[in-house]
Amino acid sequence: MTHSADRRSSHPRRALVETSLGLIPLLLVSGINLIQLELPVISLVRVLVLYGALAALLLRHLPSPLVEQGLGPANRITLLRATFVVSLAAVVPYAASLSDTGLWWVVALAGVSLALDGVDGWLARRSATATPFGARFDMELDAFLMLVLACLAWRSGRLDWWVLLLGVPRYAFVAAGWRCPWLSAPLPERLRRKTGCVIQGIALLVCLSPVVSTGGATAVAVVTLGLLLVSFGIDVLWLARHQSKD
């Protein structure tokens, strides 16, 4: 076996070690959730299953340019964020029983994940390790976090089922792309999209905050949903014009 082949064969092991190390913060946060939110032990099983699925997808789609350095520094931060998001996802089935203290804990945990969202991109640029894979990993994790927060807002009784609309735009857009392939074409970078994601996350945290009235949470959710629909509408129109020119 050549030296090059040795290096390539060591990559899956290195990436596997890195994703396995994610179990440390995952179990730490999930253990605190178990105590703080008085969750059943079965919730830890859900956490491990969700993280295992995420790690499998990550390793499956890790591109060859990352063979030598593994996940890379920015993707490691994104993976750390993923441990918070997965821990929150496991709380969804028990959201109806959360006390105000529990809701504040959920808001704090989600807030940390949102704050780290700016760190991975900054680190990727700072270390010159930005890749399309890293950007996609970050984007898909953001979309999953929004879905989890929307589910928590609904299951906790803070808002009715329609708040789920704040968590599905990305998935609806992807599904529409299966039906209409022109919707899957690459979009130009826009600050509007990144700003919209931040607003979406903050709005969902506001909706989950016990200090905010139901009426206030409803108003915030409705306005945010309107802004999201406008943003996605702009992208759809751009793709439609681009398709017609092709």
Measured distance between the N- and C-terminal CA atoms of the chain, rounded to whole angstroms: 47
d(CA 85, CA 184): 26
pLDDT band at 11 (very low <50, low <70, confident <90, very high): very low
CB 158 within 8 A of CB 207: yes
CB 239 within 8 A of CB 182: yes
CB 39 within 8 A of CB 91: yes
pLDDT by residue (tens digit) across 14-69?
878 888 999 999 999 999 999 999 999 999 999 999 999 999 998 888 876 554 56
Give the chain's radius of gyration (CA, Å): 19
pLDDT band at 144 (very low <50, low <70, confident <90, very high): very high
Is residue 108 pLDDT above 90, yes or no? Answer: yes
d(CA 98, CA 54): 26
175's CB contacts (< 8 A; 6+ apart) are: none
pLDDT band at 123 (very low <50, low <70, confident <90, very high): confident
Position 245 scores a pLDDT of: 57
Which residue ranges form the domains of the chain, and what is each CATH number?
3-245 (1.20.120)
